Amino acid sequence: MSKTAKTYLIYAGLGLIPVLLGFILPAKIDGETLHIFTNLFPYPLYMGFALVGYLCFKLNQIRILFSVLLLLGISFLLFNPLTLEPMAITVERLYAVVAISFPLTLAVMFSIRETRPMDIPNFSRLLSSMVPFIVLGYLAARDVPLFRKIVGIKILAIENIFIPQLTLVSLAIFGIVIVLQKDRIVKPFVRVLGITLIPLLSAVWGGLKMHSELMGKYPRLNALVDNYGGLDPAIFKEKAPKGFGFLHDWVESSYPSLPIVAAFTIICAILLHAIFRAYWQRVYIDELTDISNRRALDEQLAHMSGEYAIAMMDIDHFKAFNDTYGHDEGDNVLKLVGGLLNEELGDKVYRYGGEEFCAVFSGVNGEDAYMFVNKVRRKLEERDFYIRKPNSKREQTSASDRKKKKNNGKKVQVTISIGLASPDKQAKTPEEVIKLADQALYKAKKKGRNCVVVWAMENKKTSTTV
């Protein structure tokens, strides 16, 4: 399993915490006492969302920025659910609007092609993605029968799921957008937004469940909510008629629940980690080959000590290949080599520059490192590479697919030469070891290429060719 897949799995696991809280916590919690806590708690979360938005802006990702600002607005409303009461949007209606509209809004937002970050038409297109919220919010405020019909649509014959079943359609549409997303920078973040729907919708489910149970317990509450619902909770408690103490249960149910607090804490943490990870990739990952770049290598070498080995690798005849087949095919060769190196060596490999790569083996001697790099050399030698036809796209295929698929393009062989060196008394620093590995690489080129030369540190007049 790749590191990215493991990260997504951790995100999903964290997202399930509000679901568990919904089952573990007691059915009735003193909402007023909790509200004292939630009055202060949201502010660090708002700052966290604002920081994510700022970093999105610095990355020139306006669609991601809009989605984070939308989450910020939703968090404010769910932490202050009585804000829209004067507009006749009760807490229950607010939950329904969020559940249905948010996934659909994200689907529209990330279906729009992003142009220049500060382009006015780009902003207008993104604002148009808010149509689901605007339309459903208007219907909720007007309390038209259509809103009740939309919320009450049955897709599955399942009772007591509380969240409007139309939410399933919104989730399916957003799922299709995630799968079809082509932007390699945006796609990871869109997946993360999909994962954040787990805690968000679980918290909404908990809130709707609580309201449904309360309305079932007190049938007269619907009419009384219409009469008193627009009042502030503190005033409501004072003005509630005597003998109607159960109305206080409704007031308490209007405060944000612990699952909502937990949900937005987790959402904010996931988004912060994802955006910092995106920044890390922007700084330390080579965009063409998707492996660590020279800057990452320099920082790694600055902390190297003890036993290690360094391999310098160079693609054979790369300049001639570029001159013959063009730079596009040259880029495809770099992707092929980088992908194979990453597959075999993982985070040990770096793109050094041009067609040259470097691998650092910490805690490994030269003999063991040789086995790793020679295995990579042999695998690349055995890999088929076809020159694609003009205007055709190179498809991502597995090893089994490559064996089955017939390719009418010209078949060429891609090989690498490797120089390997380890530190000793005369070469103590990583910089000195890299120079020796470079000399070994030069010897590999002189000896016919497609081979590994290990620099013999004990006797610098000799080297070993394998």
Question: pLDDT by residue (tens digit) across 310-340?
Answer: 999 999 988 888 888 888 888 889 998 998 9
Residue 242 has pLDDT above 60, yes or no: no
Please provide the DSSP assignment of 71-112 as one string: HHHHHHHHHSTTTTGGGT--HHHHHHHHHHHHHHHHHHHTTS
419: phi then psi, degrees, rounded to nearest 5: -115, 135
Residue 245 has pLDDT above 90, yes or no: no
Residues 367-398: tens digit of each pLDDT: 888 999 999 999 999 888 887 655 444 444 44
| Better pLDDT: 114 or 194 | 194
Residue 230 has pLDDT above 50, yes or no: no
Q: What is the pLDDT of residue 214?
A: 60
Q: What is the pLDDT of residue 216?
A: 59
Q: Which residue(s) pair with 463 in the sheet?
A: 455
Residues 153-192: tens digit of each pLDDT: 888 777 767 788 899 999 999 999 999 988 877 888 899 9
Residues 337-368: tens digit of each pLDDT: 998 998 888 889 999 988 999 999 998 888 88
By C-alpha distance, which of 356, 93, 411 is closest to 229? 93
Q: What is the pLDDT of residue 442?
A: 92
Spatial CB neighbours of 342, under 8 Å, sequence gap ≥ 6: 289, 290, 291, 349
Cα 258 to Cα 250: distance, rounded to the nearest angstrom = 16
How is residue 64 written in tokens?
């991601």
Q: What is the pLDDT of residue 174?
A: 94
Average pLDDT, the chain: 79
Beta-carbon neighbour count of residue 114 at 10 Å? 19
Residue 82 has pLDDT above 80, yes or no: no
Cα 214 to Cα 229: distance, rounded to the nearest angstrom = 15
What is the pLDDT confidence band of residue 267, given thresholds at 50, 70 and 90? Answer: very high
Please provide the DSSP assignment of 110-140 as one string: TTSPP--TT-HHHHHHHHHTTHHHHHHHHHH
Residues 270-290: tens digit of each pLDDT: 999 999 888 888 888 888 888
Q: What is the pLDDT of residue 103?
A: 94
Q: Cβ distance 386 to 414 under 8 Å?
A: no
Q: What is the pLDDT of residue 117?
A: 57
Residues 422-455: tens digit of each pLDDT: 887 777 888 888 999 999 999 999 989 999 999 8
Residue 458 has pLDDT above 60, yes or no: no
Q: What is the pLDDT of residue 26?
A: 55
Residue 240 has pLDDT above 60, yes or no: no
Residues 92-141: tens digit of each pLDDT: 888 899 999 999 999 998 887 766 655 666 677 777 888 999 999 999 88
pTM value > 0.85: no
What is the pLDDT confidence band of residue 244, given thresholds at 50, 70 and 90? Answer: very low
Cα 385 to Cα 89: distance, rounded to the nearest angstrom = 61
Cα 135 to Cα 133: distance, rounded to the nearest angstrom = 6
Residue 260 has pLDDT above 90, yes or no: no
Q: What is the pLDDT of residue 384?
A: 81
Q: What Rg, from alpha-carbon coordinates, does the chain have? A: 30
User: How much of the chain exceeds pLDDT 90, in percent?
Assistant: 26
Cα 462 to Cα 456: distance, rounded to the nearest angstrom = 6
Q: What is the pLDDT of residue 118?
A: 59
Residue 232 has pLDDT above 50, yes or no: no
How is residue 140 written in tokens?
């909720």
What is the pLDDT confidence band of residue 250, given thresholds at 50, 70 and 90? Answer: very low
**223-228 average pLDDT score:** 50
Q: Cβ distance 94 to 77 under 8 Å?
A: yes
Residues 20-78: tens digit of each pLDDT: 876 776 545 545 555 565 566 778 888 999 999 888 888 888 888 889 999 999 988 88
Q: What is the pLDDT of residue 175?
A: 93
**Range in 11-20, 176-185, 226-235, 301-310 the model is least confident about:** 226-235
